[in-house]
C-alpha cells in the first residue's frame, strides 16, 4: 500500500506539482503508473472477487493498517458483470470498496479533493458513485474501454480521472469513510486513489480499534426505570481483546471488551430535560482514543420498532421485499417501485429514482400504482435507467426514510415530498407539492411487477370531487406464472379519497389520452389509468386514503372506513403511530440484552421480515375470493385467509418461529388452509392470492399444520385437518380451480416406494417421505394407530433413495439401478435434485438424522458435512448467480438450512454451535445488500436467523409427537421470550447465555429450570410452560457437553 508515513500522528508531506497548483497528498492508494499491479487480485484474477470476500458493505480498507496487495481489489465489478454475482435470478449485484481513515482536528475553511484515477472501464455510460461520509457524486464514464485490461494488458486502456471536491465540513475529526460503487454498467480498474488537502492535516494511526463515529442518539431509552440518551460509539475491532470505556464529564458510563468486527455501542448518558454540553472520552486499554464535546437534548422515547429500517435487505431482492410501511401479514404493501417489469422487479436501492408507489407486493401479483407529479403529462412509468422517460422521478437518496410506520422521499424532478403509511388493507399518503405548479396524481393500473399481467377489464370512475372508485381485472396467464398449470386471475377493487377537491381529471387507455374524462373503461388492455389534478398554490399538501379488496369496491370502501377513516380521520401521524404500536406488540415478545445498537437493528429487522412479508386476502367483514372465483366468508372474525409464495421448507424457519413467537398467526395459517380445503377440496402449497399455484414440490403445508398441532396450537378442526393431509398424500395431483394441486410424482412414489429418475424428480422421494412422516406423527397424536403405521413406514422410504455404497442420494431408475457414472454435485443438479444437488439432498432426512448417519456411516456423514462448511464459509454460504447446486452449504436457499444443526444429532454439538454462529456472522449483515445474500423468500431467511440467534432449532420442524428444542449458540447474554399465557403456555421463558460474545460461542455447561442439562435437546413443553435455560459460554468447545450417552 502506498500511504504517507506517520510520525507522532503528523503527516510527513509528499507534494508534487500539477499545473500551477501545489498538491498536498494526505493519503494515496496505488502508484500513478497506469497499472493496477500493486492491488489485490491483479493482474487478472477478477473471477475470484467474491471468493476473496470483496465488495460487501462490511468490508473495508483502513489507511495505515490494511495491505494493498491483499485488502483492496484492482477491479470493481458493475451490475452487468456475472462474475460479480448478477444473474437471471440473482438480481442486480452491486459492490462497494470502502476506505476508512482517521483525521485529527480538521482545518476549517479549506478545500479538499478526492481523486480516483481509473486505468480503464469496460462499458460506456457506466455510472460510478463516490461518497465521502455523507457527500456523494455520480460520474457517467465515457467511451468503452478494452476487455484486455481485465486480464492485465492495459495497452488499449481508456483512462478516467474522477474528482470529488470537498469542504472542511464534509470531513470529520475522527473517523471518515470513502465508498466507491458502480451503480450501472460494468467494471472499473483502479490506478490510484488519493485525498488531497491542506498541509496542516493530521492523519491518525490506529492500533487496536478504529472509531468510526461518536454521536448522541436521537432517542431515549429506559434502563432499570431510569431514562437515558445513548452516546453512540461506532467502533471497529482491529486486534486483541481490548477493553473500551466511555467517560462522560469525567465519570465512567460504559465498559465493554471487544471481540471481533464492528460494534455500535449505546453508552447510556442520563437523560436531560434541556440542552446540555458534556465532554466525553473513549478510552481503550487505558489510552484515550478519542475525546470531544457532545450536545445532549431531551429526545423521543425509543421503542423496539425504532431499530427497524425497512430499507435493509432490499438490494437484489424479490418483488416481495421492499422498503415501506407494511403491517404484519398485510394486504396493502405500499412501496416505491423503481425497476422494470420482470424477475426481481420492485425496488433496487442503487436505482436512484421512483416509478410509482404500488399497493400489492405478493408473489405473482401486483397493482394500483399512485405517483404524485407535475408539469407535462406523461402516462408511462418509464425505464429504470432513464429518469427522463415516463413520469418516473429521480430521488434525493439522502431524504429517503423507511422506519416502521412510514416511507418518505423527495422526488427531485418534481420537487415533491412523498410520504406514506398504511394499515392492513388501506393506505394513507401525503404529498407536498411546490406551490408554483398544480399537483397531479397518477393512478396506474399496469405497474412494473415481477410477473407481468394483462388488464382484462378496467373501470375507474370519479364519483365525487373527493373520491375515485374502480376495479381492475388482471390475469397473469399460464405458462408465465409457474409451469403450465395455473393462471393468476384476480380483481383489484379500490377506492381513493382526497382531502382536497379535484380540479381536473382525465385518463388513458393504451396510447390514447382522455383529457377531462371522469370515467375510464375498457377490456383487454395493455395500459390504463386516471390522473387527477389539484390547485396547490395556496395549500401545497394533498392527502390520499385508499382501500383495496379482491372481492368488491364496496368491501374496499369498508376496509378503508374501518381501518383508517373512522379511527384516524385525516391524521397521517395517527395511522403511523398505530402501525408502530402494532409492531411493538410483537417485538416486545422477544427482548434481547445487548448494548450493541447494530445487533438490535439486525435482530428486529429479521423479526420484522418474518412477520410482514406474507399476505392477508380477506376483507374486514371476513369475505374473500376462493380460487374458483366464488365469494366466501370466514365465520370466525379472528381467522384470516393468507397467501404466499410457498411453504417449501418453512419447517426450518417460519413454522418454528411462528409457533413459538406468534402462535395466533400459526393458527390463522392452519385455518386459512382449511378454508381453502372447504372451498375447493384441496390444501395449497403456493396459495398466492388464494390460488392453487403449484410452486416448488411436495406438500409442505402439511408440516405447517402438524407442527402447529404438536406445539399446542389446536384451535382448528383437527379431524378435518387430518382428512385434508391424508388426501394430499393419497390422491393424484390434478387441475383445481384454474390451478394445480397435489404431488406431481405421487403415483410413481406409491408404486415404487421412491420416485424413479425416469418417472419423475428423484429428490421428491426425500421430500414426500418427510411429509409422510409428519402425517404419521399427526395420526399418532390423534390416536389413529392404523394410519400411523402406514405413514410411519412411508416416512422411512428415504432409504430407497440412498445408495449405501457411495453414501449419497444417488439417481435410481424404475428398474432399481443406480446411475453410473455419478457425480454428487453435477448429476441431476437442479432438476432431479430440486434447486440443489445430491450432496445436499442426501442430508434431507430431518425426521431421522441418526438413522441417516447410521445408514451411510457416521464418520462419512460427519466428514462430508464438516468439509462442506469449511468449503463454503469463505463464500459466505452463498451461491453467486443463484447456482445453489455448485456449492455444498448454501444458506441463500432452503436445502441447506438445517445443516448446522445436524452435528447435534451425531455427537458433535460443538460443531452445531460453531457453524450456526458462522452462518450468522458470515451470511447475515445489516446493510441494504448484505442483510441477505440469497433469496430471502418472504421471511424464511429472517426467521432462521431469529431461531439461530436464540440458540434454538427444530430439525424435524417440531412435528414429532413430543417435539424438542435443540440447543445451538445464543447470541445474547439474556433473551426473554414473552409467552403471554397464549395457548395455555406460561408467562415467559428466559435464556441466559453467560459470557456470550462473538468469540464465546461454545456451550460449557447448561441448566434447565435449575437442573443440570447434559443433552443438546430438551422437551418443547419445558419452554412453553415457562422457565429458564442457563448456558455458560466460552471460547473453546466443551466436547463432553451435549453428547448423547
| CATH number reported for the structural domain that contains residue 764 in this entry | 1.20.1610.10
Q: Over 70: is that where the pLDDT of 11 sits?
A: no
**One domain for residues 463 and 532:** yes
Handedness of CA 707, 708, 711, 714 (dihedral sign): negative
Whether residue 24 contacts residue 201, with contact meaning beta carbons closer than 8 Å, is answered with yes
Q: Identify the pLDDT of residue 1045.
A: 73
pLDDT band at 2; cut points 50, 70, 90 = very low
Alpha-carbon 577 to chain mean position: 24
Three-state secondary-structure class, residue 547: strand
C-alpha to C-alpha distance for 978 and 990, rounded to whole angstroms: 9
Q: Which residues contact 408 (CB under 8 A, 6 or more apart)?
A: 399, 400, 401, 402, 417, 418, 419, 420
**One domain for residues 372 and 239:** no
CATH code where residue 288 lies: 2.60.40.2560
Domain count, the chain: 5
Q: Over 60: is that where the pLDDT of 3 sits?
A: no
DSSP assignment of 609-675 equals HHHHSSEE-S-TTSEEE-TTS-EEE-SSTT---EE-S--TTGGGTHHHHHHHH-HHHHHHHHHHHHH
How far CA 811 is from CA of 12, 807, 808, 842, 846, in Å, comes to: 67, 12, 9, 11, 20
CATH code where residue 731 lies: 1.20.1050.60
Alpha-carbon 60 to chain mean position: 22
Whether residue 331 contacts residue 615, with contact meaning beta carbons closer than 8 Å, is answered with yes
CATH code where residue 91 lies: 2.60.120.260
Among 698, 718, 742, give the residue marking a domain's end: 742
CA dihedral 786→788→793→795, nearest 10 degrees, is: 150
DSSP 1039: T
Q: Identify the pLDDT of residue 1044.
A: 84
Q: Identify the pLDDT of residue 548.
A: 99
In-domain check, residue 974 = no
**One domain for residues 576 and 637:** no
**One domain for residues 316 and 297:** no
C-alpha to C-alpha distance for 404 and 166, rounded to whole angstroms: 34
Q: Identify the pLDDT of residue 1.
A: 29
Q: Over 90: is that where the pLDDT of 16 sits?
A: no
pLDDT band at 710; cut points 50, 70, 90 = very high
Joined together, the cell numbers standing for residue 46 give 477478477
- Rounded mean pLDDT of 195-211? 96
**One domain for residues 438 and 565:** yes
C-alpha to C-alpha distance for 381 and 387, rounded to whole angstroms: 10
C-alpha to C-alpha distance for 673 and 723, rounded to whole angstroms: 12
Joined together, the cell numbers standing for residue 707 give 407442527
Whether residue 775 contacts residue 729, with contact meaning beta carbons closer than 8 Å, is answered with yes
In-domain check, residue 1019 = no
Q: Over 90: is that where the pLDDT of 721 sits?
A: yes
**One domain for residues 464 and 422:** yes
Q: What percent of the chain has pLDDT over 90?
A: 95
Joined together, the cell numbers standing for residue 972 give 445474547
Q: Identify the pLDDT of residue 9.
A: 30
Among 790, 806, 840, give the residue marking a domain's end: 840
Phi, psi dihedrals of residue 626, rounded to the nearest 5°:
-80, 170
Alpha-carbon 849 to chain mean position: 30
Joined together, the cell numbers standing for residue 649 give 421448507
Please state, as a whole number, how many other Cβ atoms lie within 10 Å of the Cβ of residue 87.
17
Among 707, 742, 777, give the residue marking a domain's end: 742
Three-state secondary-structure class, residue 576: helix
pLDDT, tens digit, 9 for 90 and up, residues 840-855: 999 999 999 999 999 9
**One domain for residues 777 and 731:** no
H/E element, 919: helix 909-923
DSSP bridge partners of 279? 293
DSSP bridge partners of 442? 371, 531
CA nearest to 421, candidates 531, 317, 333, 300: 333
Q: Identify the pLDDT of residue 370.
A: 99
In-domain check, residue 959 = no
pLDDT band at 18; cut points 50, 70, 90 = very low
- Rounded mean pLDDT of 114-125? 95
Q: Identify the pLDDT of residue 753.
A: 99
Q: Over 50: is that where the pLDDT of 161 sits?
A: yes
**One domain for residues 542 and 399:** yes
In-domain check, residue 50 = yes
pLDDT, tens digit, 9 for 90 and up, residues 284-329: 999 999 999 999 999 999 999 999 999 999 999 999 999 999 999 9
DSSP assignment of 233-291 equals EEEEE-SS--EEEEEETTEEEEEEE--SSEEEEEEEEEP-SS-EEEEEEEEETTEEEEE
Question: Residue 262 sits in which domain range?
Answer: 209-302
Give the gyration radius of the chain's Cα atoms: 29
In-domain check, residue 1002 = no
How far CA 839 is from CA of 796, 809, 812, 861, 1025, in Å, comes to: 19, 8, 15, 11, 39
Q: Identify the pLDDT of residue 816.
A: 98
Q: Identify the pLDDT of residue 392.
A: 98
Average pLDDT, the chain: 96
C-alpha to C-alpha distance for 598 and 596, rounded to whole angstroms: 5
C-alpha to C-alpha distance for 172 and 131, rounded to whole angstroms: 14
In-domain check, residue 490 = yes
- Rounded mean pLDDT of 940-966? 99
Q: Identify the pLDDT of residue 21.
A: 38
**One domain for residues 382 and 496:** yes
**One domain for residues 149 and 237:** no
DSSP bridge partners of 256? 244
In-domain check, residue 62 = yes
Q: Identify the pLDDT of residue 5.
A: 32
pLDDT, tens digit, 9 for 90 and up, residues 420-434: 999 999 999 999 999
Q: Identify the pLDDT of residue 143.
A: 80
pLDDT, tens digit, 9 for 90 and up, residues 578-589: 999 999 999 999
Q: Identify the pLDDT of residue 144.
A: 85
Name the pairing type of β-strands 988-994 and 1027-1034.
parallel
Q: Over 70: is that where the pLDDT of 1016 sits?
A: yes
In-domain check, residue 137 = yes
H/E element, 1041: none
C-alpha to C-alpha distance for 288 and 269, rounded to whole angstroms: 19
- Rounded mean pLDDT of 775-799? 99
- Rounded mean pLDDT of 527-551? 98
Please state, as a whole number, how many other Cβ atoms lie within 10 Å of the Cβ of residue 665.
22
Please state, as a whole number, how many other Cβ atoms lie within 10 Å of the Cβ of residue 666.
26
C-alpha to C-alpha distance for 583 and 585, rounded to whole angstroms: 5
pLDDT, tens digit, 9 for 90 and up, residues 38-73: 999 999 999 999 999 999 999 999 999 999 999 999
Q: Identify the pLDDT of residue 124.
A: 87
C-alpha to C-alpha distance for 804 and 806, rounded to whole angstroms: 6
CATH code where residue 397 lies: 2.70.98.10
For the chain, the straight-line distance linking the first and the last C-alpha, in angstroms and rounded, comes to 55
Half-sphere exposure of 802 (CA within 13 A, CB side): 23
Whether residue 649 contacts residue 697, with contact meaning beta carbons closer than 8 Å, is answered with no
Please state, as a whole number, how many other Cβ atoms lie within 10 Å of the Cβ of residue 962.
10
CA nearest to 786, candidates 776, 795, 796, 794: 776
Specify burial of residue 980 (Cβ count, 10 A radius: 0-12, 13-18, 19+). Answer: middle
pLDDT, tens digit, 9 for 90 and up, residues 372-407: 999 999 999 999 989 889 999 999 999 999 999 999
pLDDT, tens digit, 9 for 90 and up, residues 738-783: 999 999 999 999 999 999 999 999 999 999 999 999 999 999 999 9
pLDDT, tens digit, 9 for 90 and up, residues 874-902: 999 999 999 999 999 999 999 999 999 99
**One domain for residues 441 and 533:** yes
- Rounded mean pLDDT of 908-915? 99
Q: Over 80: is that where the pLDDT of 7 sits?
A: no
pTM (two decimals): 0.96
**One domain for residues 751 and 733:** no
Amino acid at each position: 500500500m502506498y500511504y504517507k508515513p506517520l510520525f507522532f500522528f503528523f503527516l510527513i508531506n509528499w507534494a508534487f506539482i500539477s499545473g500551477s497548483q501545489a498538491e498536498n497528498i494526505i493519503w494515496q492508494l496505488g502508484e500513478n503508473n497506469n497499472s493496477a499491479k500493486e492491488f489485490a487480485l491483479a493482474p487478472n484474477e477478477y473471477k475470484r472477487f467474491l471468493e476473496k470476500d470483496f465488495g460487501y458493505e462490511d468490508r473495508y480498507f483502513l489507511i495505515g493498517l490494511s495491505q494493498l496487495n491483499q485488502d483492496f481489489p484492482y477491479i470493481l465489478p458493475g451490475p452487468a458483470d456475472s462474475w460479480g454475482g448478477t444473474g437471471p435470478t440473482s438480481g442486480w449485484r452491486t459492490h462497494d470498496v470502502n476506505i476508512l481513515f482517521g483525521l485529527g482536528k480538521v482545518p476549517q475553511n479549506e478545500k479538499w479533493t478526492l481523486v480516483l484515477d481509473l486505468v480503464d472501464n469496460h462499458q460506456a455510460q457506466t455510472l460510478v458513485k463516490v461518497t465521502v461520509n455523507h457527500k456523494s457524486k455520480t460520474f457517467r464514464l465515457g467511451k468503452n474501454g478494452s476487455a484486455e485490461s481485465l486480464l492485465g494488458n492495459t495497452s488499449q486502456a481508456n483512462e478516467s480521472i474522477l474528482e470529488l471536491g470537498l469542504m472542511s465540513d464534509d470531513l470529520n475529526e475522527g473517523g471518515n469513510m470513502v465508498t466507491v460503487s458502480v451503480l450501472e454498467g460494468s467494471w472499473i480498474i483502479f490506478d490510484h486513489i488519493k485525498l488531497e488537502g491542506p498541509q496542516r492535516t493530521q492523519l491518525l494511526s490506529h492500533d487496536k480499534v478504529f472509531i468510526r463515529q461518536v454521536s448522541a442518539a436521537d432517542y431515549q431509552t429506559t434502563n432499570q426505570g431510569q431514562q437515558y440518551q445513548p452516546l453512540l460509539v461506532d467502533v471497529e475491532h482491529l486486534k486483541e481483546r481490548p477493553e473500551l470505556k466511555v467517560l462522560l464529564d469525567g465519570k465512567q458510563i460504559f465498559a465493554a471488551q471487544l471481540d471481533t468486527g464492528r460494534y455500535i455501542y449505546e453508552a447510556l448518558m442520563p437523560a436531560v430535560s434541556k440542552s446540555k454540553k458534556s465532554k466525553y472520552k473513549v478510552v481503550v486499554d487505558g489510552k484515550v482514543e478519542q475525546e470531544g464535546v457532545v450536545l445532549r437534548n431531551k429526545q423521543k422515547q425509543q421503542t423496539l420498532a425504532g431499530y427497524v429500517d425497512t430499507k435493509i435487505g432490499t438490494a437484489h431482492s424479490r418483488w416481495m421485499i421492499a422498503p415501506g410501511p407494511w403491517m404484519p401479514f398485510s394486504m396493502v404493501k405500499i412501496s416505491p417501485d423503481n425497476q422494470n417489469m420482470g424477475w426481481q422487479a420492485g425496488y433496487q436501492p442503487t436505482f436512484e429514482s421512483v416509478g410509482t408507489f404500488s399497493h400489492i407486493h405478493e408473489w405473482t401479483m401486483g397493482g394500483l400504482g399512485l405517483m404524485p407529479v407535475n408539469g407535462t403529462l406523461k402516462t408511462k412509468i418509464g425505464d429504470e435507467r432513464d429518469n427522463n422517460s415516463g413520469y418516473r422521478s429521480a430521488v434525493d437518496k439522502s431524504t429517503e426514510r423507511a422506519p416502521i410506520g412510514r416511507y418518505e422521499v423527495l422526488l427531485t424532478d418534481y420537487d415533491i415530498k412523498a410520504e406514506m403509511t398504511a394499515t392492513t388493507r388501506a393506505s394513507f399518503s401525503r404529498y407536498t407539492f411546490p406551490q408554483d405548479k398544480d399537483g397531479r396524481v397518477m393512478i396506474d393500473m399496469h405497474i412494473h411487477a415481477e410477473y407481468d399481467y394483462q388488464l382484462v377489464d378496467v373501470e375507474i370512475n370519479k364519483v365525487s370531487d373527493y373520491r375515485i372508485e374502480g376495479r381492475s381485472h388482471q390475469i397473469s396467464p399460464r405458462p408465465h406464472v409457474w409451469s403450465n398449470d395455473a393462471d393468476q386471475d384476480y380483481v383489484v377493487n379500490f377506492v381513493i379519497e382526497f382531502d382536497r377537491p379535484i380540479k381536473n381529471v382525465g385518463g388513458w387507455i393504451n396510447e390514447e389520452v382522455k383529457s377531462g374524462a371522469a370515467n375510464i373503461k375498457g377490456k383487454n388492455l395493455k395500459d390504463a389509468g386516471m390522473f387527477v389534478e389539484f390547485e396547490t398554490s395556496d395549500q401545497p399538501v394533498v392527502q390520499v386514503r385508499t382501500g383495496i379488496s379482491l372481492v368488491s369496491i364496496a368491501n374496499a370502501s369498508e376496509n378503508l372506513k374501518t381501518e383508517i377513516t373512522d379511527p384516524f380521520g385525516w391524521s397521517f401521524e395517527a395511522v403511523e403511530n398505530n402501525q408502530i404500536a402494532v409492531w411493538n406488540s410483537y417485538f416486545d415478545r422477544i427482548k434481547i440484552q445487548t448494548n450493541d445498537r447494530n445487533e438490535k437493528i439486525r435482530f428486529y429487522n429479521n423479526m420484522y421480515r418474518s412477520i410482514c412479508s406474507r399476505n392477508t386476502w380477506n376483507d374486514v367483514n371476513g369475505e374473500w375470493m376462493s380460487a374458483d372465483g366464488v365469494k366466501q366468508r370466514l365465520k370466525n372474525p379472528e381467522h384470516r385467509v393468507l397467501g404466499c409464495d410457498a411453504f417449501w421448507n418453512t419447517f426450518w424457519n417460519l413454522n418454528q418461529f411462528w409457533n413459538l413467537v406468534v402462535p395466533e398467526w400459526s393458527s390463522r395459517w392452519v385455518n386459512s388452509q382449511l378454508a381453502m380445503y372447504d372451498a375447493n377440496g384441496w390444501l395449497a402449497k403456493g396459495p398466492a392470492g388464494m390460488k392453487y399455484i403449484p410452486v416448488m414440490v411436495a406438500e409442505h403445508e402439511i408440516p405447517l399444520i402438524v407442527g402447529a398441532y404438536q406445539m399446542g396450537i389446536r384451535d382448528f378442526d383437527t379431524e378435518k385437518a387430518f382428512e385434508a393431509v391424508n388426501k394430499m398424500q393419497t390422491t393424484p395431483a390434478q387441475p383445481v380451480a384454474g390451478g394445480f394441486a397435489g404431488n406431481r410424482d405421487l403415483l410413481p412414489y406409491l408404486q415404487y416406494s421412491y420416485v424413479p429418475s425416469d418417472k419423475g424428480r428423484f429428490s421428491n422421494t426425500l421430500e414426500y417421505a418427510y411429509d409422510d412422516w409428519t402425517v404419521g406423527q399427526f395420526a399418532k397424536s390423534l390416536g389413529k394407530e392404523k394410519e400411523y403405521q402406514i405413514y410411519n413406514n412411508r416416512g422411512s422410504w428415504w432409504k430407497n433413495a440412498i445408495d449405501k455404497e457411495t453414501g449419497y442420494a444417488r439417481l435410481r431408475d424404475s428398474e432399481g439401478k443406480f446411475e453410473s457414472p455419478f457425480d454428487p454435485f453435477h448429476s441431476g443438479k437442479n432438476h432431479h435434485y430440486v434447486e440443489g444437488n445430491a450432496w445436499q439432498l442426501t442430508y434431507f432426512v430431518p425426521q431421522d438424522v441418526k438413522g441417516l448417519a447410521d445408514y451411510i456411516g457416521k464418520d462419512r456423514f460427519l466428514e462430508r458435512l464438516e468439509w462442506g462448511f469449511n468449503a463454503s464459509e469463505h463464500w459466505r454460504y452463498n451461491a453467486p448467480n443463484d447456482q445453489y447446486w455448485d456449492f455444498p452449504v448454501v444458506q441463500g436457499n432452503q436445502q441447506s438450512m438445517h445443516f448446522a444443526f445436524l452435528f447435534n444429532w451425531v455427537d458433535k454439538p460443538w460443531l452445531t454451535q460453531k457453524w450456526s454462529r458462522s452462518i450468522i456472522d458470515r451470511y447475515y449483515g445489516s446493510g441494504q445488500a448484505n442483510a441477505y445474500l440469497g433469496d430471502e423468500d418472504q421471511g424464511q431467511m429472517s426467521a432462521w436467523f431469529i431461531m439461530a440467534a436464540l440458540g434454538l432449532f427444530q430439525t424435524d420442524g417440531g412435528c414429532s409427537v413430543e417435539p424438542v428444542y435443540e440447543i445451538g449458540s445464543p447470541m445474547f447474554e439474556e433473551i426473554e421470550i414473552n409467552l403471554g399465557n397464549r395457548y395455555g403456555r406460561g408467562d415467559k421463558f428466559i435464556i441466559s447465555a453467560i459470557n456470550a460474545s462473538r468469540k464465546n460461542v461454545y456451550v460449557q455447561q447448561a441448566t434447565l429450570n435449575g437442573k443440570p442439562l447434559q443433552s443438546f435437546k430438551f422437551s418443547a413443553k419445558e419452554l412453553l410452560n415457562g422457565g429458564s435455560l442457563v448456558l455458560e459460554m466460552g471460547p473453546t468447545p466443551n466436547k463432553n457437553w451435549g453428547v448423547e450417552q
